[in-house]
Structure 1
Amino acid sequence: MLSFNEKISIIEEFPQLERKDVSLGRVNYHYYPSVYDKTIVVHHLHPNGNGFVYTGQLSEYDADSKGLVNIRNYTENQLREIITSAIGNLSTDAEISHKQTWTGPDNQSLLLVQEDYFWNIYTGEMLEESFETYNEAEAYLKEEGFIKT
């Protein structure tokens, strides 16, 4: 397990994050260019090494109901990777990186896009459906006979 100071050193490799000391010796790191109201990337990093990273609804991480992932036992590489993903999730690039094209019957094409805290399915510019999680949207598309392309 990385120590508190080792985690701080890694997090501070990201110049776009701003440190804010909070109670009980804990530290938060904010990403203020966030396109959402949410700006905290690293939440309550504690001197004992425990802490969280906000990943929202990113499907590749096992986040709690608040979108937080515990980083207590993360390695250097894992910590860098999750912070990079978290920043991407809050940045203007997040919209681009969270778009998928799905093709279905009769070569019909749908676009699955993560916007704010929802996964929206579009036919052209028209909104077809909206889901709270990627898994719900994916299940719907598969049930309708679509595959990710």
Structure 2
Amino acid sequence: MLSFEQKKKVIESFSELSKKEISLNRLNFHFNESLYEKTIVVEKLHPNGNGFVFVGDLGKYEDESNEKGLVNIREYDEAKLREIIEDAIFYLSSDHEQPIVEEWISKNGTILTLAHEKRNWNIYYHENLEESFGTKEAAITYLHEEGFRKK
């Protein structure tokens, strides 16, 4: 496990990140060129070595991230820390998502389209937006509750 100072040095080597001091001697590192409202890449880096990196819904970190898209980096070594920061910056700097589109059908034949667009899961009836969700799980729960199944 890297110390606070070692993690800070690695993070500061990313010139595209800017440091902001917050409470309890913790640090946030922002990516101001983010294409999204979210700009914090490293969140709450604490002198005890704890901290988080925002990875959103990148599948690579699905097993490590919490519901807010944060990964705890307490036990990360330098290589893993560099990799996750690079991935986070890439995630926030590009519209790299492959479109995911699924059709869902009800018992009476109504078809809705579930589409992953710019980090949201949108449900359409024809071309009209019906609902929007932050996670695929929430969208699927809604569809099931409304009596739809994947086509």
TM-score normalised per structure 1:
0.70
1:92-103 counterparts in 2 under 5 A?
93=94, 95-96=95-96, 98-99=97-98
Q: 2:87 aligns with which of 85, 88, 91?
A: 85
When Rg is computed on C-alpha atoms for both structures, the one with the higher figure is 2
Equivalent residue pairs, number = 133
1:26 aligns with 2:26: yes
For the residue of structure 2 that corresponds to 1:30, the secondary structure is strand
The within-5 A match list for 1:2-81 is 2-61=2-61, 62-81=64-83
Does the Cα contact within 8 Å between 1:57 and 1:134 map onto a contact in 2? Answer: no
Amino acid aligned to 1:59: G
Q: What SS does the corresponding residue of 1:99 show, helix, strand or coil?
A: coil
Corresponding residue number in structure 1 for 2:147? none
CA contact (8 A) 2:99 2:117 kept: no
Q: Which amino acid aligns with 2:54?
A: Y
- 2:41 and 2:53 in contact (8 A); partners too: yes
Whole-angstrom distance in 1 between the partners of 2:18 and 2:3: 20
Whole-Å separation in 2 of the counterparts to 1:24 and 1:130: 36
Alpha-carbon offset, residue 57 of structure 1: 1.3
Instruction: Determine if contact 1:44/1:51 at 8 Å carries over to the other structure.
Output: yes
Q: What runs of 5+ residues in structure 2 fail to find an aligned partner?
A: 102-114, 140-149
Query: Identity of aligned pairs, percent?
Result: 50
Q: Provide the C-alpha distance between the structure 1 equivalents of 2:37 and 2:83, rounded to a whole number of angstroms.
A: 23
CA RMSD of aligned residues (A): 3.1
Show the 5 A alignment for 1:98-137: 98-99=97-98, 114-115=117-118, 117-119=119-121, 132-133=134-135
Consecutive unaligned residues of structure 1, counting only runs of 5 or more, are 103-111, 138-142, 145-149
Over 3 Å counting, the alpha-carbon distance change for 1:66 and 1:2 in structure 2 is same
1:82 aligned counterpart, secondary structure: helix
